[in-house]
Amino acid sequence: MNRNIYSLLAISLFSIVAMCSCTALDEAPDNRTEIDTADKVSKLLTSAYPLSSPALLCELSSDNLVDDNVVVPATHNSPYAIFHEQAYKWEDIDNSSTGEDDTPYTVWESYYQGIAVANHAIDAMRQMSEDPANDPELAHSWGEAHVLRGYLHFVLVNVFAEAYKDETRSLSDNGIAYVREVENTVNVNYGDPKYRKSVAEVYDLIERDILEGIDLIDDSKYQVPAYHFNRNAANAFAARFYLFKRDYEQALKYANNALGANPQLRNWKAINQNTLEMKVNDYNDEKLACNYLIQSTYSLQWRMHVSSARFVLNTGGNFTDWNGKTWHIPSTLDITIWGSGPNWSSVLPAFRGMVYVNSAGQEYGGWLFRLYEYFEYTDKIAGIGYVHQIYQPFTADETILCRAEAKLYLGDRDGAIKDLELWTGSHGVEDPLTLDKIKTKYNRAKVNNDWVSELYPAEMGFEKVLTGDDLSVLDCILHFRRVETVHEGQRWFDIKRYGIKVIHHYRGANEDEIHTDSLTWNDPRRVLQIPQNVVDAGYPSTDRTRPVKLQDGSSIKVPGVYQPKGNNKK
């Protein structure tokens, strides 16, 4: 059977509805299938928000997780799912079915389906009005559809393509298909330049969608604003987009729009700690001013942390590999949810009583309470249903860190530190944050300072490369964002855009030998492979091989995984 690529880019019920013919009596189909009123457009857009997230894949790819088979030497655990190990090893994920949660396919499918829905909404509004943007009944939905379409492409390009470098270099980096129209033709070649754009072109189109829609969004049109791109969420998205594009003036502008004169950060003291369920419900409360956008997904990420005891947040240590080289493994627990900072010791006050340990025991790692899943029963007697994970793609707490980074690059170091102090204050830290404390904590001269990372901004196209005190403040921002977005995958995007070097140590369930691999700033494995199902349908795959220098000076390309010598345990 020849599957058309569009069905893999975005399987949409609405494209089928659009092609329905009239009945034998020449009667219109059921009018519920016709998107011909502002109310129907609004309801249609609710189905454009994806039910999948790249969070798990991004966490596995990043430096947030360690392999318990390495840091707990007696263990020989299998991964919760086979593709988890492939993601951790930066391999192509080729053995996951379309029905599994958290796979590249489900991310690709869910986000492109959302794009298809947004396009149908836009097309319907064009048919209803000559100027939807200025139509009082449609303007709001016109704005939401464009901002949402831009955001969905933004996630896809940052997962399945290179990070944005600059207007010149990003023109030569393959991006993704940017779909802006309803497609009713079978066997469309979405690898054609008409659709598949360079990274630079994708960013230009995202910006166009943002600017088309952001000023039209009207929160009063939503019953529950936090489940949609409300004004704060849209401005927070614009701030992150321009930060990634390094247009710091615009990033600051939109961050200010979202945060307002008095940023409403999360009130951690108000979270009810009586039960885990109460904590999670309070954190995910759609009425909280800090929760700009809430996304419900199908995900098994919590179960990976709790039940698998393989790839988790855990302590590190030092070990000697097969050839006698000593490796230092940072404690990702300390760097994220259970460690000190520039103006706090031990653990963030906000996280006390909020960190839980793996079901196998504390030795096997921990997780922050907000990762806890919701279970939707379809049959309580049979005990079956759907697993939901709640994410906040945009919050006030993360947006203020975007603003701090923008201020720093604009030369306002004091303003950046002030924003960082607001963040620590909201997390229960009473001590003031000063430049001296930041310089002490993020001292790059200190051996094995796990709170700083190797950055390659010049290689990644940054026009301004920070040094000295400014670099220390940047290290602080990146650390705070790593803490703020743990479990959500945002660390992976910082790794990509700053060229941060990542080292993974791993050992298979049936192995004695420990393997070590590193991901440098120019390693093509930083781009997640296009899902195999989509490649099989004809979409171009991504070249994730890397050149290896030979003794004679020549080079060859090898698959993106390094296997050192050693005997595997049978």
CB neighbour list of residue 72: distance below 8 Å, 6 or more residues apart: 309, 314, 363, 364
Does the pLDDT of residue 567 top 60, yes or no? no
| Banded pLDDT at 149 (limits 50, 70, 90) | very high
Q: Tell me whether residue 313 is in a domain.
A: yes
What pLDDT does residue 23 have?
29
CA torsion sign, 219 to 220 to 224 to 228?
negative
What pLDDT does residue 33 have?
65
Q: Tell me whether residue 29 is in a domain.
A: no
231-245 helix and 248-259 helix, angle to the nearest 10 degrees: 160
Q: Is 542 left (phi over 0), alpha (psi -120 to 50) or beta?
A: beta
Tell me, rounded to whole angstroms, the distance of Cα 438 from its chain centroid.
27
Q: What span, in angstroms and rounded, lies between the C-alpha atoms of 384 and 395?
A: 32
What pLDDT does residue 9 have?
47
Mean pLDDT of 500-508: 96
Contact 492, 453 (CB under 8 A): no
Tell me the per-residue pLDDT of 200-212, one tens digit each, with 9 for 90 and over.
999 999 999 999 9
**What SS3 state is found at 502?**
strand
What pLDDT does residue 96 have?
63
Does the pLDDT of residue 215 top 60, yes or no? yes
Q: What backbone torsions phi and psi does residue 311 show, to the nearest 5 degrees?
A: -105, 110
Q: Is 338 left (phi over 0), alpha (psi -120 to 50) or beta?
A: alpha
Contact 223, 204 (CB under 8 A): no
| Banded pLDDT at 159 (limits 50, 70, 90) | very high
Q: What span, in angstroms and rounded, lies between the C-alpha atoms of 71 and 163?
A: 31
The candidate with the shortest Cα–Cα distance to 129, out of 238, 54, 197, 35, is: 35
Lowest mean per-residue pLDDT among 166-170, 187-191, 309-313, 513-517: 187-191
pTM here is 0.91
Contact 498, 452 (CB under 8 A): no
| Banded pLDDT at 186 (limits 50, 70, 90) | low
3-state SS, 240-302, equals HHHHHHCCHHHHHHHHHHHHCCCCCCCCHHHCCCCCHHHHHHHHCCCCCCCEEEEEEEECCHH
Number of domains forming the structure of the chain:
1
Contact 266, 426 (CB under 8 A): yes
| Banded pLDDT at 262 (limits 50, 70, 90) | very high
Q: Tell me whether residue 10 is in a domain.
A: no
Neighbours of 239 (CB within 10 A): 28
What pLDDT does residue 384 have?
86
Q: Tell me whether residue 327 is in a domain.
A: yes
Half-sphere exposure of 427 (CA within 13 A, CB side): 27
What pLDDT does residue 15 have?
38
The candidate with the shortest Cα–Cα distance to 253, out of 264, 266, 263, 239, is: 239
What pLDDT does residue 225 have?
97
Does the pLDDT of residue 19 top 90, yes or no? no
Tell me the per-residue pLDDT of 163-177, one tens digit each, with 9 for 90 and over.
999 999 999 999 999
Q: Tell me whether residue 119 is in a domain.
A: no
Q: Give the burial class of 269: count Cβ atoms within 10 A of its Cβ; 0-12 exposed, 13-18 middle, 19 or more buried.
A: exposed
Look up the domain containing 406 and give its range: 48-80+226-501
Lowest mean per-residue pLDDT among 13-17, 272-276, 566-570: 566-570
Contact 392, 383 (CB under 8 A): no
What pLDDT does residue 537 have?
83
Q: Tell me whether residue 142 is in a domain.
A: no
As beta bridge partners, residue 326 has: 320
Does the pLDDT of residue 257 top 70, yes or no? yes
Start-to-end CA span in the chain (Å): 40
Q: Tell me whether residue 106 is in a domain.
A: no
CA distances to 472, 491, 526 from 498, in Å: 15, 11, 12
Q: Where are the alpha helices (DSSP H) in 62-138?
A: 68-71, 82-88, 104-128
Tokens matching residue 471: 């670099």
Q: Tell me whether residue 150 is in a domain.
A: no
Angle 463-466-467 (CA atoms, 0-180°, nearest 5)? 140
What pLDDT does residue 343 have?
98
Does residue 478 or residue 187 have the better pLDDT?
478
Tell me the per-residue pLDDT of 235-254, one tens digit each, with 9 for 90 and over.
999 999 999 999 999 999 99
What pLDDT does residue 326 have?
83
Contact 429, 344 (CB under 8 A): yes
Tokens matching residue 20: 């329905």
Tell me the per-residue pLDDT of 480-499, one tens digit each, with 9 for 90 and over.
999 999 999 999 999 999 99
Mean pLDDT of 170-194: 86
Percent pLDDT > 90 in the chain is 77
Does the pLDDT of residue 551 top 90, yes or no? no
Lowest mean per-residue pLDDT among 285-294, 463-472, 557-566: 557-566
Q: What span, in angstroms and rounded, lies between the C-alpha atoms of 418 and 404?
A: 8
Q: What span, in angstroms and rounded, lies between the C-alpha atoms of 556 and 570?
A: 31
What pLDDT does residue 422 have?
98
